[in-house]
Chains A and B, each alone.
Chain A
Amino acid sequence: MPNTSIMTFNILSILPVLILAGFGMMVLVVDVLSSRKMGEKNFLAYLSLIGVVIAAFLSKNFTGTTLFSFYGAYTIDNYSLFFQFVFLLCAGLTILISKNYVQRENINYGEYYTLILFSTIGMILMASGADLLNIFIGLEIMSISIYILVGMKRTRLTSNEASLKYFLLGAFSTGFLLYGIALVYGATGTISLRQIAVFIAGKGGVLDPLLLAGMGLIIVGIGFKIASAPFHAWVPDVYEGAPTAITAFMAVGPKAAGFAAFLRIFFIAFGQVHQDWEKIIWILAVLTMTTGNIIALIQTNIKRMLAYSSIAHAGYLLIALVAANNMSVSAILFYLLAYLFMNIGAFAIVIVISQKEDSFLKISDFSGLAYKHPRLAIAMTLFLLSMAGIPPTAGFVGKFYIFSSAIKSGYVLLAIIGVINSVIAVFYYLRVTVAMYMRGPEREFQPLTLSPFIFVAIIISIIGTIQLGIFPAKVLEIAQRSILLLR
């Protein structure tokens, strides 16, 4: 274990977080000081984007270092740095696709950008937390910001409903998580993940009922955040009601953060009792994939369809969690990065197509798009094919590594169920493509204005999706270096 002796305070280790917090507050103050009208405050987006870029550069500076700061509560290793990169990229792309969207929908508040930055802070803390309480605090910072963001479109009832629903259910699930943490603390006398592992090793790898119950409750709490199956009921309504840019953000960010915490808790603290949790996660994975994919088949609203597809993707990621080998960690990291690109890209195009007041969100509204706006249709097809896992896209490589990691650990049946599920998924992804290419337009397409910001976001997503699909080696190598220091 390198550098565990350096148990210092070391405030510089959270420099990216501090920068994000500082810029978040700056956006708030600049917003209230400005006398411009709401629609004209472009500088809010610029300012928050600058904050994200600076934080990304600072985070990059830590590459290769492993250190524990805040007396062992916060850790920097390649694993948490990879996640920091994913979160910052997610926040940056969300700001890019938001800038014109928030002006169009009249929600260009300074709080919008501030809350995106704050929830990114929460995600970073979650991925870097080396004890349960730090992970919990990160999760709360992330969730509370997103509860508000979901309800940002205050004049629309669905947005209010989504926000309240997410808040009530989220608070409930947080209770589960906290109760689980309390039970684990009660059983082991520590909240540090490594100390818990030491405790379990001291008991010869046998869990007493208290610890087992705590572990189960933690699975429920985090399972809610990553939208896994028995805890997924909130997903479609919340994803549909939230402003589209926020839907893109919360489909990637909290899921990645949830998996970051999930992996760290279950590989480090409960790594030795793999046989005690693999069956639960096995069932969760199968349920999540199947529910997500089957219900997605009958959706007519594109946001709801992408919501169920996001549930299904959580299921694929859980397969790798069950496998629990070094390959599965890098597979999850790679898949999350690929999912980031294809998901934000798809939502960016939904934003462009839906037009003012989100009027066009039905799948039938996409019919004939290829004749009117061929380039948008090609981009959308690329993202959907990538989600379906068709080569040569990022989604294919991601799924390939996830299923190989499952087979490597001997979970052949699970991998087969995963493959069957991806085949089912192809149907509803292709349905949109078929509508775009093989049907005539069912409505008048107004001239679409593609602002430079959302254009850049779509281009970045396209490049990411293709590059990860054709040349995955470089990113995979980084992901493989980011594996957790097991045990």
Chain B
Amino acid sequence: MIHYLPILILFFIALGFALTNVGISEILGRKRPTKEKLTPYECGVEPVGSAHERFSVKFYLIAMLFVVFDIEVVFMYPWAVAFKSLKLFGFIEMLIFIGILLICYFYIWKRGGLEWE
């Protein structure tokens, strides 16, 4: 357990650093709030309406689909690096993996997951 002592020390240093900085700026900083300063930042544009709105569930669906196919690419990078040592075995494995994803893609497409309306 003694090997982990540096991690514990680092943990407290990090915690102390964060708390000190926030605390100092809280104590020393000047506070002159104006209406402009208190509005939420929306990429420099004047905010339109409240942020507490209901979002269409479609955004969630698109985000999920993105993650699925993003992971595919993430998985292919290490595969490409190790391709030579994996030889034919690795190639076939990747074909199976992409095949399964293709079936998923086909399913999503036919189910209407890619249509916005």
Contact = CB atoms under 8 A, between A and B. Distances in A.
Contacts of B103: 25, 28-29
A9 to B, nearest CB: 8
A25 B110 contact: no
Interface string B76-110: 00000000000000000000000010010011001
A29 B107 contact: yes
Contacts of B106: 29, 32
A94 to B, nearest CB: 22
Contacts of A29: 103, 106-107
B100 A33 contact: no
A210 interface: yes
Contacts of A28: 103, 107
Q: Name B's interface SS.
A: helix
A32 B1 contact: no
B57 to A, nearest CB: 12
Interface string B1-29: 10000000000000000000000000000
Contacts, number: 15
Interface residues of B, number: 7
B2 to A, nearest CB: 12
A25 B111 contact: no
B86 to A, nearest CB: 12
B111 A32 contact: yes
Nearest to A208: B1
Interface string A21-53: 000010011001100000000000000000000
Contacts of B100: 25
Interface residues of A, number: 8
Contacts of A209: 1
A56 to B, nearest CB: 23
A321 B107 CA distance: 43
Contacts of A33: 110
B115 to A, nearest CB: 13
Contacts of A32: 106-107, 110-111
Contacts of B1: 208-210
A208 B111 CA distance: 53
A255 B107 CA distance: 31
B106 to A, nearest CB: 7
A18 to B, nearest CB: 10
Contacts of B111: 32
A210 B3 CA distance: 13
B7 to A, nearest CB: 12
A33 B107 CA distance: 9
Nearest to B89: A9
Nearest to B111: A32
A71 to B, nearest CB: 13
Contacts of A210: 1
Nearest to A9: B89
Nearest to A33: B110
Interface in A187-212: 208-210
A33 B106 CA distance: 10
A210 B103 CA distance: 44
A41 to B, nearest CB: 14
B112 to A, nearest CB: 9
A28 B110 CA distance: 10
Contacts of B110: 32-33
Nearest to B100: A25
Interface in A134-168: none
B21 to A, nearest CB: 30
A440 B31 CA distance: 77
Most buried by A among B107, B110, B111: B107
A25 B106 CA distance: 11
Nearest to A209: B1
A210 B2 CA distance: 12
Interface string B45-73: 00000000000000000000000000000
A25 B104 CA distance: 8
A366 B73 CA distance: 56
Contacts of B107: 28-29, 32
A284 to B, nearest CB: 28
Nearest to A210: B1
A208 B100 CA distance: 44
Nearest to A18: B96
Nearest to B93: A11
A28 B111 CA distance: 10
Contacts of A208: 1
Nearest to A32: B110
A477 B106 CA distance: 47
Interface string A366-387: 0000000000000000000000
Enumerate the 5 nearest inter-chain pairs by beta-carbon distance, A residue then B residue, closest first. Answer: A32-B110, A28-B107, A25-B103, A32-B111, A32-B107
Interface of A: 25, 28-29, 32-33, 208-210
15 contacts: A25-B100, A25-B103, A28-B103, A28-B107, A29-B103, A29-B106, A29-B107, A32-B106, A32-B107, A32-B110, A32-B111, A33-B110, A208-B1, A209-B1, A210-B1
Given A29-B106, A32-B107, 6 more contacts: A25-B100, A29-B103, A29-B107, A32-B111, A33-B110, A210-B1
